[in-house]
């Protein structure tokens, strides 16, 4: 054990691995997944495609067909390039590795996606978290002061933000971009659930990149993320990307899904509708404060000191959500709930109503 402590960096020893709870047999509303599977006819066509893949060969290293499919489905202009990652996490890691000079800094608003901070630690970068306001808006003054003081190599701005679900003021974002001498990454993981997008910023600012993922639209199991931007940035990041990082099954499955993208968009539209209903039903439960959401999840605040009790109460009823209480001061008494199917949402509301009325776990 002494050898482990001697060889492993202290900041890694001090970390706790990213927790993924066991969800077997539960209604899973904790990870922002699309709850809908594909129709039987689509599944059959997909499996027919996969059975003929030459798994004894390496996949297409550049995944050019997949990049073209993504550009077409997402309306990405040909003048911009696409970099693919094994989920957005790998792309964040590539970005961090690329700028990891001594003293380099990653900056992001908080609460935000926890992997920004974790990957900064993995790669030996400084991390600066700037608190949001009490209503989860960007604190423009604090952000600009932090940008000026720390001169970060990377700034991550998520639209909508995880775990709060809201969109930030576009003018404030623009002023942060203009103040930055480093790269600004617009993280659009939940873009399918909002009408807001930021591809236009690629034209307006040469130091902006847009990051997206297929995980939230129903392909979480494929682990496919993409970074969109000017070739001068992406060409350098390609040097860091591991060869064959997008495997053959993922490439073929994602291409198939993109050819049937309307099917996925119908599902996301249904989730948008269900989000409105779920927000209304949650707000009707005594003691629950519902925050605005433009994502496929909803942040709520429950009565003081009850977040863990309510979380455990749902878990006992085989419903898994995310307890955020204790993760950040602004998230005190907060729970995050993924929008499920209509039936799953109804079961959640029934269980939460019972828990709220009883005022206890059971």
- The DSSP code sequence of 116-173 is HHHHHHHTT-EEEEEE--TTS---HHHHHHHHHHH--SEEEEESS-TTT-PPPPHHHH
pLDDT digits (tens, 9 = 90+) for 99-149: 999 999 999 999 999 999 999 999 999 999 999 999 999 999 999 999 999
Q: How many domains does the chain have?
A: 2
**Is the domain of 144 the same as that of 20?**
no
**Is the domain of 244 the same as that of 275?**
no
Note whether residue 317 is domain-resident: yes
**Is the domain of 76 the same as that of 192?**
yes
Q: Tell me how far the alpha carbon of residue 139 is from its chain's centroid.
A: 21
**Is the domain of 295 the same as that of 196?**
no
Q: Looking at residue 359, what is its pLDDT?
A: 66
Q: Looking at residue 19, what is its pLDDT?
A: 77
Query: For every residue of 237-265, which 3-state class applies, written as one string?
Result: HHCCCCCCCCCHHHHHHHHHHHHCHHHHH
Q: 204, 229, 260: which is the final residue of a domain?
A: 260
CA distances to 82, 244, 323 from 356, rounded to whole Å, are 47, 50, 16
- CB-based contact 133:139 (threshold 8 Å): yes
pTM score: 0.94
pLDDT digits (tens, 9 = 90+) for 276-325: 999 999 999 999 999 999 999 999 999 999 999 999 999 999 999 999 99
**Is the domain of 301 the same as that of 326?**
yes
Q: Looking at residue 1, what is its pLDDT?
A: 61
Residues of the chain with pLDDT under 70: 1, 359-362
**Is the domain of 290 the same as that of 279?**
yes
Q: 239, 260, 281: which is the final residue of a domain?
A: 260
**Is the domain of 228 the same as that of 290?**
no
Residue 17's domain comprises: 2-39+262-358
């Amino acid at each position: 054990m002494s050898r482990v402590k001697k060889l492993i960096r202290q900041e890694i020893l001090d970390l706790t691995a990213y927790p993924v709870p066991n969800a077997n047999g539960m209604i899973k509303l904790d990870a922002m997944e699309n709850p809908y599977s594909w129709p039987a006819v689509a599944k059959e066509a997909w499996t027919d495609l996969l059975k003929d893949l030459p798994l004894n060969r390496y996949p297409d290293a550049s995944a050019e067909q997949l990049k073209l499919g993504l550009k077409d489905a997402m309306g990405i202009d040909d003048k911009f390039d696409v970099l693919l990652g094994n989920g957005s996490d790998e792309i964040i890691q590539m970005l961090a590795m690329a700028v990891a000079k001594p003293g380099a800094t990653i900056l992001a608003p908080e609460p935000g996606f926890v992997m920004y901070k974790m990957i900064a630690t993995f790669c030996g970068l400084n991390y600066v978290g700037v608190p949001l306001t009490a209503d989860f808006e960007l604190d423009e003054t604090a952000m600009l002061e932090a940008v000026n003081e720390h001169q970060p190599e990377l700034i991550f701005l998520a639209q909508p933000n995880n775990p709060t679900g809201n969109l930030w003021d576009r003018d404030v974002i623009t002023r942060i971009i203009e103040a930055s001498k480093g790269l600004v990454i617009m993280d659009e993981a939940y873009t399918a659930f909002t009408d807001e997008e930021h591809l236009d910023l690629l034209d307006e600012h040469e130091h902006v990149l847009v990051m997206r993922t297929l995980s939230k639209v129903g392909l979480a199991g494929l682990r496919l993320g993409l970074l969109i931007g000017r070739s001068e940035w992406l060409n350098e990041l390609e040097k860091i990307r591991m060869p064959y990082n997008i495997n053959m099954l993922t490439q073929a499955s994602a291409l198939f899904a993109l050819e049937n993208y309307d099917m996925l968009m119908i599902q996301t539209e249904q989730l948008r509708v269900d989000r409105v209903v779920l927000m209304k039903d949650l707000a009707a439960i005594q003691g629950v404060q519902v925050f605005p959401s433009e994502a496929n999840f909803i942040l709520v605040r429950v009565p003081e000191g009850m977040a863990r009790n309510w979380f455990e109460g749902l878990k006992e009823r085989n419903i898994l959500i995310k307890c955020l209480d204790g993760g950040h001061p602004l998230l005190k008494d907060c729970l995050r709930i993924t929008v499920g199917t209509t039936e799953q949402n109804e079961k959640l509301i029934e269980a939460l109503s019972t828990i709220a009325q009883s005022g206890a776990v059971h």
